[in-house]
Amino acid sequence: MLLIECPYCGERPELEFTYGGEAHLVRPTRPAELDDQAWSEFLYTRANVKGVHAERWRHARGCGRFFNALRDTRTDRFLAFYRAGEPRPKAGS
């Protein structure tokens, strides 16, 4: 069970959180203007990195807030936790 640091509440065990997939994917403001290829990439294409991954977590059984984390998918080690809307930190990128 991972130890996750909610930027609002502090370190908590993984079972208080839900996973939210890749971070920094912004929903297009005008989806209608995207062609099918671009929309399908937004929907389905993910980086699926082996290495440092920026991902979303939600402290679902705590404060309920979404936030982002950098995790090395090879080791499960977290490099940074930061609030939604903040830029991806430099660490490990």
Nearest to 23 by CA among 50, 61, 52, 2: 52
Q: Closest distance between other proteins and the C-beta of residue 43, in Å?
A: 6
Q: Is 53 a residue that touches other proteins (CB under 8 A)?
A: no
Q: Does 48 bind other proteins (CB under 8 A)?
A: no
50 binds other proteins (CB under 8 A): no
Distance, CA of 3 to CA of 43 (rounded, Å): 29
Both tokens of 64, joined, read: 């309920």
Q: Which helix (H) or strand (E) holds 36?
A: helix 36-44
The contact set with other proteins (CB under 8 A) reads 1-3, 13, 18, 20, 26-27, 30-32, 34, 36, 39-40, 43, 56, 58, 60, 64-66, 75-76, 84-85
